[in-house]
């Protein structure tokens, strides 16, 4: 018997943002596999007046349940957090009452609260980026993970999730939405684009990591090419139009127009930046798959996240964040005699990435893993390494403390301060590169957090040393040993769950 699945999403519905489309298409696809599907949302106000099913061109194969929740989103991030927590409580109560057999979410707060509130109900957590170690380890005791890219999957495994409990499932496309678009001439007339122009088009949000700025700067080198941007908020569009008068900004357009809008282009551009980890490793943009369905040549940044789907036979790759190379790539796509062949190959390749096939792989994954619990891999070696690294750092601390205090007769609190700081470098290097094997970036951020933790530990160390030595009259070396042991317990969890993730 097919399971009763509740997809729980703390979103406005409908919403002009891509996650709304992704959630609705996934619910439709999961329902098409035979699952009893229900989407649960908080009923937040939305300026989109259309019905969700018609807005996203989705068949009404599932139901939408609204858990009315007080909306504090206008108060900013804190307000959104409060609203999400209230919604999670309502959704958990509803899931219990209706007898849901599987819970599905892509929201980290919902995943955490649902895992804690309903630990006996299988949970699928769809992950779209880097999540805190502590959160993953808590959720992993009750959940399986759907990773949007291989990069996300690698990160989850590095955080301790067993590989067999992670499914890589890239985003997808509904090919039926792109099967019968209008002609290029009709599309250009409707959009107000010059008929005989060579058009390079970008469709999507204008967030910094999307790389739109690189395309806008490249437009200055593309005198014979008409650059068109579809998407963005009204304020963004107005500001950018003033800065780039040679670019045509068409603003936000609904999903129902997407297939027709894409055919107005001669080349479609995906200029993601290499300066953001999400862009490099974690993104599986919906526009990538709709571009592939358009039968238009694609110019894309050469990034691991995009290489998971595209290859040299289906796209033109350019150096990320390089305006000259992007301009060169666009001109190559417009003049290359093999451009149509690449576009057709992309259309063939995207047939592997449909919402139905994605849903089927998730259902199979669920069947294979839903009985599993306690799926976080043991980290005994990490504990041993931490102890060794801490021991070496402590030895450094104790030696300097002894030498300064007994041999040079420095006041013991001053000796303790110097010894603590001297051991800091040894500790950081060993813990980062050996214990937690975090050999990628974020060193500056980690060093700052590590230093803050060290300063807090220093204050605690001095305080405990004073109490144990001056108040309780214990030998200062024994006091230091007791203090180091207590500090080590707390810092292990701090390093593993917050700093080196």
Question: What pLDDT, on a 0 to 100 scale, did the predictor assign at position 488?
Answer: 77
Please compute the mean of the pLDDT values over residues 27-31 and round it to a whole number: 96
- 63 versus 436: the higher-pLDDT residue is 63
Q: Backbone phi, then psi, for 434, in 5-degree steps? A: -115, -55
Question: What pLDDT, on a 0 to 100 scale, did the predictor assign at position 501?
Answer: 64
107 — pLDDT class (breaks 50, 70, 90)? very high
Please compute the mean of the pLDDT values over residues 309-322 and round it to a whole number: 97
SS3 334: helix
Please compute the mean of the pLDDT values over residues 72-86 and round it to a whole number: 87
Question: What pLDDT, on a 0 to 100 scale, did the predictor assign at position 1?
Answer: 55
Between the alpha carbon of residue 264 and those of residues 54, 101, 278, the distances in Å are: 23, 45, 29
Question: What pLDDT, on a 0 to 100 scale, did the predictor assign at position 56?
Answer: 92
Packed helices 355-369 and 18-32: angle between N→C axes, nearest 10 degrees = 70
Q: Is the pLDDT of residue 434 over 80?
A: no
- 420 versus 121: the higher-pLDDT residue is 121
Q: Up-side HSE of residue 65: CA atoms within 13 Å toward CB?
A: 18
Burial of 230 from C-beta contacts in 10 A (0-12 / 13-18 / 19+): buried
* CB < 8 Å & 24+ apart, contacts of 217-222: 217/323, 218/271, 218/323, 218/324, 218/326, 218/327, 218/330, 219/244, 219/246, 219/247, 220/246, 220/323, 221/323, 221/324, 221/327, 222/327, 222/330, 222/331
Please compute the mean of the pLDDT values over residues 395-403 and round it to a whole number: 86
Question: What pLDDT, on a 0 to 100 scale, did the predictor assign at position 439?
Answer: 60
Cα–Cα nearest to 417, from 457, 382, 390, 377: 457
Question: What pLDDT, on a 0 to 100 scale, did the predictor assign at position 342?
Answer: 97
pTM of the full structure: 0.75
Percent of the chain with pLDDT over 90: 59
Q: Is the pLDDT of residue 372 over 70?
A: no
Please compute the mean of the pLDDT values over residues 248-265 and round it to a whole number: 94
Lowest mean pLDDT among 242-251, 271-280, 467-476: 467-476
Percent of the chain with pLDDT over 70: 96
Question: What pLDDT, on a 0 to 100 scale, did the predictor assign at position 377?
Answer: 46
Query: Given CA atoms 90, 93, 97, 102 in this order, what sign does their dihedral have?
Result: positive
Domains belonging to the chain, first-starting first, are 4-172+358-369 (3.40.50.2000), 177-351 (3.40.50.2000), 380-499 (no CATH)
Question: What pLDDT, on a 0 to 100 scale, did the predictor assign at position 376?
Answer: 47
Q: Is the pLDDT of residue 371 over 70?
A: no
- 228 versus 45: the higher-pLDDT residue is 228
* CB burial string 41-75: b at 16+ within 10 A, e below: bbbbebeeeeebbebbbbeeebebeebebebebee
* Contact indicator for 216, 244 with CB cutoff of 8 Å: yes
Lowest mean pLDDT among 222-231, 312-321, 423-432: 423-432
Between CA 330 and CA 257 the distance in angstroms is: 24
Between CA 418 and CA 399 the distance in angstroms is: 11
Please compute the mean of the pLDDT values over residues 301-327 and round it to a whole number: 97
Q: Is the pLDDT of residue 375 over 60?
A: no
Mean pLDDT for all residues in the chain: 89
């Amino acid at each position: 018997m097919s399971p009763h699945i509740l997809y729980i999403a703390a979103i406005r519905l409908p919403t002009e943002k891509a996650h709304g489309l992704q959630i609705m298409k996934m619910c439709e696809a999961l329902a098409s596999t035979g699952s009893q599907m229900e989407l649960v949302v908080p009923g937040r106000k939305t300026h989109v007046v259309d019905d969700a099913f018609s807005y996203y061109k989705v068949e009404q194969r599932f139901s939408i349940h609204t858990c009315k929740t007080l909306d504090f989103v206008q108060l900013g991030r804190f307000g959104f957090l409060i609203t999400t927590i209230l919604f999670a409580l309502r959704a958990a109560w509803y899931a219990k009452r209706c007898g849901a057999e599987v819970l599905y979410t892509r929201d980290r707060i919902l995943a955490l609260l649902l895992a804690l509130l309903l630990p006996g109900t299988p949970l699928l957590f769809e992950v779209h980026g880097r999540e805190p170690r502590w959160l993953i380890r808590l959720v992993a005791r009750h959940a399986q993970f759907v990773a949007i890219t291989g990069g996300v999957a690698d990160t989850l495994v590095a955080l301790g999730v067993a590989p067999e409990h992670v499914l890589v499932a890239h985003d997808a496309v509904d090919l039926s939405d792109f099967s019968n678009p209008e002609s290029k001439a009709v599309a250009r007339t409707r959009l107000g684009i010059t008929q005989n122009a060579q058009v390079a088009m970008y469709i999507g949000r204008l967030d910094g990591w999307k790389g739109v700025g690189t395309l806008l700067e490249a437009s200055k080198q593309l005198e014979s090419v008409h650059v068109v941007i579809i998407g963005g908020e009204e304020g963004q569009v107005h500001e950018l139009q003033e800065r780039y008068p040679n670019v045509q900004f068409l603003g936000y357009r609904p999903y129902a127009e997407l297939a027709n809008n894409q055919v107005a282009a001669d080349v479609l551009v995906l200029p993601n930046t290499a300066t953001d980890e999400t862009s490099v490793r974690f993104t599986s943009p919906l526009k990538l798959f709709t571009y592939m369905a358009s039968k238009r040549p694609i110019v894309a940044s050469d990034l691991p996240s995009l290489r998971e789907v595209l290859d040299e036979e289906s796209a033109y790759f350019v150096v990320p964040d390089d305006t000259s190379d992007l301009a060169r790539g666009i001109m190559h796509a417009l003049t290359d005699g093999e451009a149509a062949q690449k576009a057709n190959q992309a259309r063939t390749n995207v047939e592997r990435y449909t919402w139905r096939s994605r849903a089927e792989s998730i259902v199979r994954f669920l069947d294979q893993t839903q009985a599993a619990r306690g799926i976080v891999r043991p980290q005994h070696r990490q504990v041993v390494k931490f102890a060794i690294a801490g021991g070496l750092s402590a030895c450094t601390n104790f030696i300097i403390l002894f030498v300064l205090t007994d041999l040079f007769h420095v006041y013991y609190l001053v000796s303790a301060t110097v010894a603590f700081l001297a051991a800091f470098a040894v500790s950081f290097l060993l813990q980062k590169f050996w214990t937690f094997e975090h050999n990628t970036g974020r060193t500056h951020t980690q060093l700052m957090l590590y230093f803050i933790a060290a300063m807090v530990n220093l204050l605690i160390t001095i305080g405990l040393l004073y109490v144990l030595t001056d108040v309780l009259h214990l030998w200062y070396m024994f006091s230091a040993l007791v203090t180091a042991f207590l500090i080590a317990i707390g810092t292990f969890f701090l390093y593993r769950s917050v700093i080196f993730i």
